[in-house]
Amino acid sequence: MATATKIIFSGFGGQGVLTLGQVVADIALNQGKEVTWMPSYGAEMRGGTANCSVIISDSVIGSPIILRNIDILVAMNKPSIDKFLEKTSEDSKVFINSSIVTDPVEKAGAEVLAIDATNIAVSAGNARAANMVMMAGFLTKTGLFTIDELEQALTRRFAGKKELVDVNMKAVKQGLEALA
């Protein structure tokens, strides 16, 4: 079976987890890879926990749904841990927004990385950029893409709005500093 990277982004509606997934999917597309992005949708999105699945592969992707063996879990809140941690494996990487998930998170064998994302984003003057702080986890731990590729993706996404690119890249860099 072709190797694919299966990523779940999860958090409260409004924390930008769907956007995060789309940015990562866009980077993969521009790397010439196969990619799928699949959101939770409907009433579930409003008020509850939103999530999306991103699968990146060198070959054609079958199902866009991730039901087990999550390779990378980005959890922005506690319900995300409750829902998805059991579907990670001992080889998984788990990035946690430790500003909100204060209890310790443990998964045998898995690499758990706590990122104080919301606090970092708030101190940088933009709480909404907490999702971008989480990108630091990808940059330091996965090798899926470089910071330049991320900046290019944000430039595509916020076409013509350089200030938005700058704000988000600032959040990414602060996340990197915090992890350094």
Min dist. Cβ of residue 31 to other proteins (A): 11
DSSP code, position 123:
H
Residue (66 or 115) nearer to other proteins, CB: 66
b/e burial code for range 42-60 (CB count within 10 A of at least 16 → b): eeeeeeebbbbbbbbbeee
Min dist. Cβ of residue 65 to other proteins (A): 6
φ, ψ for residue 168, nearest 5 deg: -70, -40
Cβ proximity of 35 and 25 under 8 Å: yes
* Of positions 34, 111, 149, 151, contacts other proteins by CB under 8 A: 34
* Of positions 41, 89, 91, 177, contacts other proteins by CB under 8 A: 41
What pairing do the DSSP bridges indicate for beta strands 34-39 and 49-57?
antiparallel
Per-residue binding string, other proteins, 83-122, x by CB under 8 A, is: ----------------------------------------
Q: Does 39 bind other proteins (CB under 8 A)?
A: yes
Q: Does 22 bind other proteins (CB under 8 A)?
A: yes
Positions 127 through 166 that interact with other proteins (CB under 8 A): none
What pairing do the DSSP bridges indicate for beta strands 88-97 and 34-39?
unpaired
Per-residue CA distances from 50 to 18, 19, 56 (Å): 8, 11, 20
Residue (61 or 127) nearer to other proteins, CB: 61
**What is the contact surface with other proteins in residues (CB under 8 A)?**
1, 22, 25-26, 29, 34-39, 41-43, 61-65, 67-68
